[in-house]
Amino acid sequence: MNTAQPACRFCLDNQLLVDQPIFVTDDFYMLGSIDPMLPVAGMIIPRRHSESPFDMTAEEWAGFADALSRAKAHFADHRPDGFTLGWNVGAVAAQHVFHTHCHIIPRFKGEPNEGVGIRRVLRTAAWPVDA
């Protein structure tokens, strides 16, 4: 499956990853976090290059369930109390690598951001809204 885009660091065929995948399926692979502020986290990434989840095929969506289940199992030893899953789509939404990827962040009772979800960004944003 060679669908690599030149210089895309998430296209496996380009061999630009700084770490090794935790697992690889037919359609996805998972990387662990390299962010020291978020050491227990990861990303589920399609093997085929696409820029957003809106570009994923029906077959990839079907395979995503298995990848998500495997990611959850990977974090089981940490005993998370919940998860935050997120897709940043487009530069304005903070997507920095333009290869589809879903962040999976285990969440824990007692953590500094307990109870804070992705909606807080939208509720606290200060921009005019046209009704």
Q: Read off the pLDDT band of 124 (50, 70, 90).
A: low
Which percentage of the chain shows pLDDT scores above 70? 89
Mean pLDDT (the chain) is 89
Does some domain include residue 105? yes
Does some domain include residue 95? yes
pTM attached to this predicted model:
0.87
Looking at residue 57, its amino acid is: T
Does some domain include residue 130? no
Does some domain include residue 88? yes
* CATH (domain of 21): 3.30.428.10
Of residues 123 and 8, more confidence is placed in 8
Which percentage of the chain shows pLDDT scores above 90? 73
Q: Mean pLDDT across the stretch 86-97?
A: 94
**Domains: count for the chain:** 1
Listing DSSP states for 8-49 in one string gives -TT-GGG---SS--SEE-SSEEEEE---TT--S-EEEEESS-
Residue 81 is given by DSSP the state S
Q: Mean pLDDT across the stretch 20-48?
A: 94
- Tell me the residue range of the domain where 62 lies: 12-124
